Homo-oligomer: A and B are copies of this chain.
Amino acid sequence: MAANSRLAVAAHIVAVLASKRDEFVSSAYVAASVNTNAVVIRRILCALTKAGIVTGEKGKAGGSKLLRCPDEITLADLSKALGEEHLFAIHKNPANPKCRVSCHMKEALGKAFSRAEKAAEAQLREVTVSELLAA
């Protein structure tokens, strides 16, 4: 299964808004930069709005605008706004109570995956939208 590109699209959206600070930017403009459908952009803008990162204005001169300073928005904030909690999933099949390995595996894997996710998240926390624009 391919990895999820929603975080990349969200980062691109926020970078576009950061490049036009204090303006309301239309989803059509953002979509032209990301080179995708405005529906995809609006869906992610909705999650960013709920998380307090973006605000929206309806109408002809409307659009979206950043509510926070781009050097205070990290990739980890965007990931959280999208509700992307887990990079690794434990399989959902219930443990087989007759098998010691089966009974034990989910807890052991859960701890290992949690450490890996925290390490990745710590790196995402190090990268701000300002840095993405300046890199």
A residues within 8 Å of B by Cβ? Answer: 1-9, 11-12, 15-16, 19, 32-36, 75, 86-96, 98-102, 104-109, 111-113, 115-117, 119-124, 126-127, 131-133, 135
Q: Chain B nearest CB: distance from A27 CB in Å?
A: 15
Could you say which residues of chain B place their CB within 8 Å of the CB of A99? 16, 32-33
Q: When the two chains form their complex, are residues B3 and A86 in contact, meaning their CB atoms are under 8 A apart? A: yes
Q: Chain B nearest CB: distance from A32 CB in Å?
A: 6
Q: How many Å lie between the Cα of A75 and that of B98 in the bound state?
A: 25
Q: When the two chains form their complex, are residues B4 and A89 in contact, meaning their CB atoms are under 8 A apart? A: yes
Q: How many Å lie between the Cα of A99 and that of B5 in the bound state?
A: 20
Q: How many Å lie between the Cα of A2 and that of B106 in the bound state?
A: 17
Partner of A132, one of B93, B98, B108: B108
Q: How many Å lie between the Cα of A123 and that of B3 in the bound state?
A: 19
Q: How many Å lie between the Cα of A2 and that of B84 in the bound state?
A: 9
Partner of A101, one of B19, B91, B108: B19
